[in-house]
Structures are given as structure tokens and as C-alpha cells.
Amino acid sequence: MNKTTSTAATVRVAFICLVSLGMLVPMYILVINTFKSQQEILANPFSLNPGTATFQYLADAWTNPDFSILKGYGITLALVLCVNAIAMAVCAPAAYALARTPKPVFRLLLFFFIAGMFIPTQVILVPVIFVLRAIGLMGTLPGLILFMTATTIPFTLFVFFGYIRVLPRSLDEAAAIDGAGKYHTLWRIILPLMRPIIATVFILNSLSVWNDFASPQMILGPGSGIYTVTTGVYAAVGQYSTDYTKVFPTLLLAVIPILVIFIVMQRHIMSGLAAGAVKG
Amino acid sequence: MFIPAVLIYVALLVVPVIYAFYYSFTEYNGFPTRVPEFVGLDNYRTIFGSTDMTDTMVITAVVAVVGAVLVNLAALGLALLLQRTNRFNTFGRVVMFYPHVLSALVVGFLWQAVLGPQGVVNTMLEKVGTDSLPFLSDPDWALWSMILVIVWSLFGVQLILYLAGLQAVPADLLEAARIDGAGRWRTFRAVTWPSLASTVTVAVITSGISLLKTYDVVVSLTGGGPAGSTKTLAYSILAVSFPQRNIGVASAQAVVLILAAAVLAITVLVLRKRAEDDAESIG
């Protein structure tokens, strides 16, 4: 009995080690080849010779005249913060109103919002372009922010709704007796209680905004001169995909910030994802 | 209190969907000076009539169905293996989840450098004296390579969902099954699997819909090639029909995709409802 469990345990550990290795190898290749010349990469893709390793290619990618990665970080970060701020500012009151009013019309409205989660947002980019053109925001950052906000509203609202619904109503009633209006109650009583779910939504929305490629590519377009990390990487790497001394360092610079954030916050990111999705 | 949310949501998500339906019945090149011309079902005849575009739909369906099956099998299998919380398993979970924080575009470029004709794997194969393998240069290989790359990058999310779901499996039922002498497989079938029903629904719908809109990986890994073998519907809309100013065709393709996502979601929800009703009638 004991022997079979220990064999099973060994097999399990060995199998997981093997899968983990498969997950990590591409990242290992990315990191070590960042510091090597094209000939070295082609000759020995799996090892790093400390004698010839150089920061030259990383520095070249950092100072690439076609794509300033620092500017890409800045624009993408601004995008992440704006989308989160607007999405939460419009979804918190909406979710609060929906959660506290048990009318059939409101139920219908909730369904109307949730249905948005099933729309593959990338494929409606073509008509979105015409809408943005009509309101004069095509090719601009505000246009992109508004579209990305719209795509995050269904999920944000749905998760907020689920969270507020389980907060006791007596809180609202007590506030009402003290003479607080709806907005006042939301701001002073409900929002502070929502801190954990706000953190979850912030993390998940940030990941999807940071990583989005189709929306900035279509809405900003090449003519606008504004690029995010993803569209910048596309411009910098797309046409030189066989020059590995450009590919690896640029990709490394693109993933470093998000990987660092992930490693520091992995527990919160992963538990947030679980909480956010299973609540439904 | 919900007017701002409704405004943004309707203007930039609902109206575009309506426009997609409208444009799908018109011929339109997108120039502001031209008025879309109503052509009925012509665009749908075009996309269902040309082998190129039906191939695209078949490829999208294969990516979505095979991808979702593989992603969920891998995620559920590994979730069962990593269920217990200890240091080793926590490390395993982090390692399997990390590709999700990379953008799909970067993942595609990275794997192109690994699997491409001059890539890392083929360099190593040549070194040991074996012929190189056409991971991305042969039409049959390329589709499977792409699906595996997507599975690699996607299953970590579903893994976390299943881990959360497994925590909700009632411990007393597992205990009862053990006392009744049920084996591992019996216990899984009779206790774990039914308790996971809602998790499976969420995981299948979310992975299916994200696979249906596969675009970024196509752009960076294969560019739709070779010979259109990895051209998905989303890629066809954004990288082919739209640049060719075929707004009507692009919109008809978008409508097909929206309907496919709706059918997928409704089917899974109905199946789940039925499974729940069955479970209730038994219990």
C-alpha cells in the first residue's frame, strides 16, 4: 500500500516537473538568447557563453529609433489606468443600482449587459472604426480608451453586481436613516467594502488591456504615431522575424514589466481570477 | 445611476454589433462619401460559396473545438494533480499560469523563434543529425503547431478555475465515497465531476470564446500561412477583408462569429441546466 502510493507520488512529481520544464523552456530560450549574436544563437541556442555574452543587443532594442519601448510602456500604462478608472466609475453605480432594485426591468438590463461578455470583441472592430470616425475619435487615444472600457464593462459590472448583492441591505437602510443619499451611501459605505473585488477587477482588466493587440492596431493605426507595447513590438519585430538579435531583446523588454508584476503579485492575480470567475 | 455605463456600452459595443449586422447586408467600401448599398444575402453567399472562406471557417471551428477540448483536459488533469496546497504544487501552478500574463502576440513571436525553419528546435535537430521538421512551413503541421502553442499559453487560466472548483467539492462526500470503497475513478465520476459542473461550464465557454476570436497568435506565429492553413475567421476579417475594403464581407464574417459564440454559450448553458436537473432528480 505504502509502496504504491510512494510510486504514484514519484510519478506525479516527475510528470509535473516535466510539464513545468515545457512551460519554462521558451522563457529560458528568450532570456539567454537576448545576450548573444545571431551566429551564436544559430549555433548554440540552448547555452550561454559568459565570455561572449553582451548587453549590446538589449541596449540596441532599448534605443531602437523606430520604437521607443519606454514610450510604449508609458502609453500602455496610461491606457490601463484610464480604462480601469472609467470602467469602475461607471460600473460601480450601475451595479449598485441593479443589485438594490429587484424590478424585472432591471433584471433585463443586467442580462443586456452580461450578453456583452459573449461578443468576440475583436471581430466588431471594423464597425467600431466607423462609430469612432462618426464621433471624431478614430485614431486617437480617447477613442481607444472608450472602446476598451466598453469591452470591460460586461465583466466588471457582472462581478461588481454579484459582490454588492451579498452585502447586507441594512447598511443602506442605516445610511438612509442618517440622511445619506444614494451616491453618498455608495461612496462612503459600499465602495470601501468592495476593496477586494475592486483589486480583482483591476488586475484582470489590466492584464487584458496591457496585452491587447487587435484594438490598438486597428483603432490607432500606423498613421497616428501612438503605439502600445504590443503594436510597437509588432512594428519592431514583425518585419525582422529572422534577425534574432532584434527579436529576442525586443520580446524580453516587452515581457519584463508584466512578468515582474506577475512574480510579485502572483498569489493575488491567481486567487483574484478564481474569485472573479467562480462568483458567477 | 447606470446611464454612463449604458451610454459607453451601447455606443461602442451594442451599436457596432448592430452595424455589423447592417453592413453584412450591404456592399460598402468604407469611404465616408459612399452610401452602403443594400445587396441582401450576397455577402453571405460569398463567404459560404468560396472555398477559401469556408476553409477559414473550418479552421476556426477546429481551433475552437480541438483547442477547447485540449485546454480543458490539460487544465482539469493538472488541477487534479496540483490540488493539494504545498510549496511544490504552488510553484507548479505559477509556472503553468505565467504564459497568460504574456500577450498572445509576444507568445506567437516567441514560438516562431522556437519552431521556425531556422528556429531553436530545428537547429538542435540538425545538430544531432536529424532532418528539420516543418512545424510552421507545412500546412498540416502549422495548424497543429498553432493549436498546441495556444493550448500552452491558455490552459493555465482554466487550471486556476478548476483548482477553485475543486476546493468547493464537498469533503464529506469524498470521505463517504472513500468509506464506501470507491476507487479513484469512481470517486471522480460520482462525486468530483458532478460538483464541478458549473466550473466546467465557465471554463468551456470562456476558453471556447477566446479561441473563436484567435487573431494575435496568427499574426505573429504564422501570418495565416502557409497556404492559408492557419487563417482564422478573425484574422480573415481584420487582415484580409478589411484592408481590401470589403466591409460587407468583413461584417458578414463578424456576424457568423458572433452567432457561433452565441450558439456555443447557449448550448453549454442548456447542457449544464439539463445536467443539473438530472443531478437533482437522482439526489
| DSSP labels, A86-144 | HHHHHHHHHHHHHHH---HHHHHHHHHHHGGGGS-GGGGHHHHHHHHHHTT-TTSHHHH
Tell me the per-residue pLDDT of B28-51, one tens digit each, with 9 for 90 and over: 888 877 888 888 899 999 899 988
* Distance between B37 CA and the closest CA of chain A, angstroms: 16
AA letter at B216: D
- pLDDT, position B31: 83
Query: Nearest CB to A23: which of B8, B95, B209?
Result: B95
- pLDDT, position A37: 87
Residues 6+ apart with CB under 8 A from B13: A116, A119, A121, A124, A150, A151, A153, A154
Write down the mean pLDDT value for chain B. 89
In the structure grid, which three cell numbers stand for residue B222, read together?
A: 504564422
Answer for the pair B148, B73: CB distance below 8 angstroms, yes or no.
no
pLDDT surpasses 70 at B281:
no
Measuring CA to CA, how many Å separate B76 from each of A108, B63, B80, B176, B200?
Answer: 34, 19, 6, 23, 9
CA distance A181 to A179: 7
CA distance A258 to B97: 13
Fold of A62-278: MetI-like fold (1.10.3720)
Q: Specify the higher pLDDT residue, B14 or B275.
A: B14
Q: Which of B10, B12, B127, B232 is the best substitution to test chain A (most A C-beta atoms within 10 A)?
A: B12
Q: Strand pairing partners for A202?
A: none
Kindly state whether B213 is in contact with chain A, defined as any CB-CB distance less than 8 angstroms.
yes
pLDDT surpasses 90 at B67:
yes
The residue among B201, B229, B64, B210 whose CA lies nearest residue B137 is B229
Tell me the per-residue pLDDT of B9-31, one tens digit each, with 9 for 90 and over: 999 999 999 999 999 999 888 88
- pLDDT, position B142: 93
Q: Say what the pTM is.
A: 0.91
Tell me the per-residue pLDDT of B79-126, one tens digit each, with 9 for 90 and over: 999 988 888 999 999 999 999 999 999 999 999 999 988 888 888 888
CA distance A114 to A125: 19
Query: Nearest CB to B8: which of A153, A237, A266?
Result: A153
Query: Nearest CB to A270: which of B4, B23, B97?
Result: B97
AA letter at A47: S
CA distance B148 to B74: 11
List the pLDDT tens digit at each of the 280 positions of chain A: 456 678 888 899 999 999 999 999 999 999 999 998 888 888 888 888 888 888 988 988 898 888 889 999 999 999 999 999 999 999 999 999 999 888 888 889 998 998 898 888 888 999 999 999 999 999 899 999 999 999 999 999 999 998 998 888 888 888 888 888 888 888 888 899 999 889 989 988 999 999 999 999 999 987 788 999 999 999 888 887 788 888 999 999 999 999 999 988 888 888 887 776 654 3
In the structure grid, which three cell numbers stand for residue B205, read together?
A: 465557454
Task: Compute the CA torsion angle B97, B100, B101, B104 (nearest 10 deg).
Answer: 150
Q: What is the helix (H) or strand (E) element at residue B38, kind and residue range?
A: strand B37-38
Chain A residues lying within 8 Å of B56, measured CB to CB: none
Kindly state whether B83 is in contact with chain A, defined as any CB-CB distance less than 8 angstroms.
no
CA distance B133 to A9: 35
Searching chain A, which residue's CA lies closest to the CA of residue B23? A127
Query: Nearest CB to A128: which of B12, B82, B97?
Result: B12
Answer for the pair B214, B232: CB distance below 8 angstroms, yes or no.
yes
Chain A residues lying within 8 Å of B158, measured CB to CB: none
- pLDDT, position A4: 65
Helix axes A244-278, A69-100, angle to 10 degrees: 10
Contact B102 A210 (CB under 8 A): no
Measuring CA to CA, how many Å separate A160 from each of A58, A135, A173, B1, B144?
Answer: 42, 30, 20, 14, 39
AA letter at A275: A
Tell me the per-residue pLDDT of B128-175, one tens digit each, with 9 for 90 and over: 877 778 888 888 899 999 999 999 999 999 999 999 889 888 888 888
Q: Strand pairing partners for B37?
A: B27
CA distance B250 to A279: 36
Query: Nearest CB to A29: which of B14, B98, B120?
Result: B120
CA distance B275 to B68: 20
pLDDT surpasses 90 at B278:
no
Contact A278 B15 (CB under 8 A): no
Kindly state whether B66 is in contact with chain A, defined as any CB-CB distance less than 8 angstroms.
no
Chain B residues lying within 8 Å of A150, measured CB to CB: 8-9, 11-13
Searching chain A, which residue's CA lies closest to the CA of residue B114? A26
- CA quadruple B44, B46, B51, B55: dihedral positive or negative? negative
In the structure grid, which three cell numbers stand for residue A235, read together?
A: 512594428
Residue A51 exposed, middle or buried by CB count within 10 Å (0-12, 13-18, 19+): exposed
Q: Where are the domains of chain A?
A: 3-53, 62-278
Exposure b/e, A122-152, CB count within 10 A at least 16 = b:
bbbbbbbbbbbeeeebbbebebbbbbbbbbb
Q: Which of B106, B153, B184 is the best substitution to test chain A (most A C-beta atoms within 10 A)?
A: B106
CA distance A20 to B95: 6
Query: Nearest CB to A214: which of B160, B199, B238?
Result: B238
Provide the 8-state DSSP code for B189: I
pLDDT surpasses 70 at B254:
yes
Q: Which of A124, A133, A151, A271 is the best substitution to test chain B (most B C-beta atoms within 10 A)?
A: A124
Contact B98 A262 (CB under 8 A): yes
Q: Specify the higher pLDDT residue, B186 or A152.
A: A152
Chain B residues lying within 8 Å of A131, measured CB to CB: 11-12, 15-16, 19
In the structure grid, which three cell numbers stand for residue A170, read together?
A: 441594512
Q: Specify the higher pLDDT residue, B230 or A271.
A: B230
Answer for the pair A110, A98: CB distance below 8 angstroms, yes or no.
yes
Kindly state whether B124 is in contact with chain A, defined as any CB-CB distance less than 8 angstroms.
yes
Across the A:B interface, residue pairs with CB atoms under 8 Å apart total 250
Query: Nearest CB to A258: which of B101, B109, B237?
Result: B101
Answer for the pair B11, A150: CB distance below 8 angstroms, yes or no.
yes
* Distance between A275 CA and the closest CA of chain B, angstroms: 8
CA distance A22 to B176: 38
CA distance A127 to A207: 25
Answer for the pair B229, B59: CB distance below 8 angstroms, yes or no.
yes
Contact A213 B216 (CB under 8 A): yes
Q: What angle do CA A20, A22, A28 make, to 5 degrees?
A: 95
* Distance between B152 CA and the closest CA of chain A, angstroms: 7
Kindly state whether B237 is in contact with chain A, defined as any CB-CB distance less than 8 angstroms.
yes
Chain B residues lying within 8 Å of A213, measured CB to CB: 103-105, 215-216, 219
Searching chain A, which residue's CA lies closest to the CA of residue B236? A123
Query: Nearest CB to A20: which of B92, B161, B233?
Result: B92
Q: What percent of chain B has pLDDT over 90?
A: 49
Question: Can you tell me whether residue B112 is helix, strand or coil?
Answer: helix
